Structure 1
Amino acid sequence: MLPEAAQLTASQRQIQRQVLAFITAHRRDGKAAVFALEGDAGTGKSALLSAVFSAVQKQARSTGGALAGTTNRLLVNHNEMLKIYWEVASQAQWLRKADFQKPTPFINARRKADIVFIDEAQLLLSQPDPFNRFRQNNQLTEILKLAHVVVLVLDLHQVTKLKSLWTSAMIKHTLAGHVVERATMTGQLRMQSPAAAAWVDAFASGQLLPLPHPVNYQLRVFEDGVPLYDWIKQMDRQHGLARVLATADFPFRVYTKEPWYVQAGKLRLPWDRVNFTDRPWASQPQTLNEVGSIYTIQGFDLNYAGVILGPSVDYDAKTDRITIDPARFEDQTAFRRRPDGTDSAADRTAIIFDVINILLKRGRMGLGLYAVNQALRQRLLAL
């Protein structure tokens, strides 16, 4: 979840002051000025963005001050993250639920704002998507037309679909001609063990390192899905917010009455269902009996995550590296062909590694792993 501004680290507070100074200096610019905040998963980007947006809205709804009377929005192209921000809004008197939107409705309304904040900007569409009523070339370009200042949070290692595929070159091209200031956040603030975070970084790039044994973090490998699930239930009883997650390697269909299941050895649990409530998926107690995906867990902090690595994630003994088979990845909507032809096997492999990176960095206090493929499972156990 997102902490209060008072809970920010000294480094976060310094960047907060930098962003607020940038906003004040450029709030009347005719062409949108851009502050880009970059960093890996778990480095506190969303917490900082939330704190800055809250400070801006407090000024906007007060009399006097440089930002009084400004109209500002925070956009995020992820349903569950939007719900987290709605919860934040319900706890602050100067925030409103309407302050937070998904990008497409904001763009299609064509109403200008003074300052637009974008969380998880790598999830913005980078191609037309008529199904979601977006027909222009990319969402970042359209948002730049509607604001004096754009503050965006960006992590190019958290891209999950080809239709939202961004590269450094694409970002540079889109921001050409705009005043741009950048800041990079480093240091893992979610995972309580730097050694465990480094192990996950290596794993999400295909490299296998010996498992560390930190005193303040549990990093465990399981021989079957059942003991993994038992461990998660135990951690949930003791600490709360422990959930089972999985890569999208198991069949599922959206909006069906019957559940679709994840099979992990002897464990068989249903996938997460479409969440029509305003509460984030992981904050609902019954979801302890489901398996979460990037669609329900991205942006949410768990205490413990039990991650099932599905059939697309395997191991090559000759190279001692993780291998990826995109053909076995069941989320085929992630791989819908792009009209510009940017959908190589390397792009698809990178997306699956990004999904792994997101899932493995959800737990603050612990991570449990079970690999469906025997070769990978045995190698993990050997580590």
Structure 2
Amino acid sequence: MTRRTFIRGAGLAGVLAAGSAPAIVHAQTTLRWRLASSFPKSLDTIFGAADVFAKKVGEMTGGKFQISVHAGGELMPPFGVVDAVKEGTVEIAHTAPYYFHGKDEVFALGCAIPFGLNSRQMTAWMVEGNGLKLMREFYRGYNIINFPGGNTGAQMGGWYRKEVKSLADIKGMKMRIGGFAGRVLERMGGVPQNIPGGEIYQSLEKGTIDAAEWVGPYDDQKLGFNKVAPNYYYPGWWEGGPQLDFYINTKSFDALNPEYKAIVECAAAVAHVDMQAKYDAKNPGALRELVKGGTKLFRFPKDVMDAAFKESMAIYAELGSKNANWKKVYEDYSNFRREQNLWFRFAEAGFDDFMQSQKL
């Protein structure tokens, strides 16, 4: 999103709020879109971003542009949304791009890759770097235009039925792990499982899987993972700042007039900020309650982190030699990450390190 577009859209929102909308907005035929989410309604944070988006679009168009929001599984399977948007079955979806890395590994770069960008860095790459431009070029092949639609912030490393004391404990472990990280886990000796959020608890409870990761304390507590796997690890090295996206069918988006396009962009920006604000506000209390209830917190052993990093970098190098799309996007992503880490290691990390050691 460019500053100019954002300001233009924000200005329109102000006019609409004042009750004096431009004539061209009123001239737009009343629209009804369907939005397919990949998430269950019970997760008011990650699913809720789609509700925030739809509500803002309705408000800024005086009710003339209505978007109905459907939870994962209502219109199609949670992982069927990309094909649905591509074919025009629905106009829009809200999802985590890395779910679809099996189609092309570049999908993961639009969300999160192991040892990638944190949430602020991801937004910076999208908005001020080349991220949005490069991803939209890629998504064009799927009849999709994307808009950033939220970020969870750095995630936890998941729930484990047994303690992970060393890399040896990863061998043979069946773990529900999202997106691209499963490939890394597999090279470490683990057995990745790609399971939708609404089905994780049952799999963990029945012992079908040995471990599972989702997001962080607030969502994890709602899903009840602590009841069946008491060992909670951090950090989620595979998701330093996963971005959610709104995927819109290009034909549907192109049919909108300029004002409605700007409204869609602004509503997505509101949802993008709102999601992480919710997670940052709600996670601390949830973590405190989990620990109070018996959850045991552990940091991943160093050999696990080292092995994960080594295998991740090896995979990226291999992909660069056989996937032209990956090579193009990852080269820019990697260069941006290098510069961001140069900056964050000083002011940001220095401040955080000091503050988190204080007793306030």
Q: TM-score under structure 2 normalisation?
A: 0.31
Higher helix share: 2
Structure number with higher relative contact order (C-alpha < 8 Å, ≥ 6 residues apart) = 2
Higher relative strand content: 1
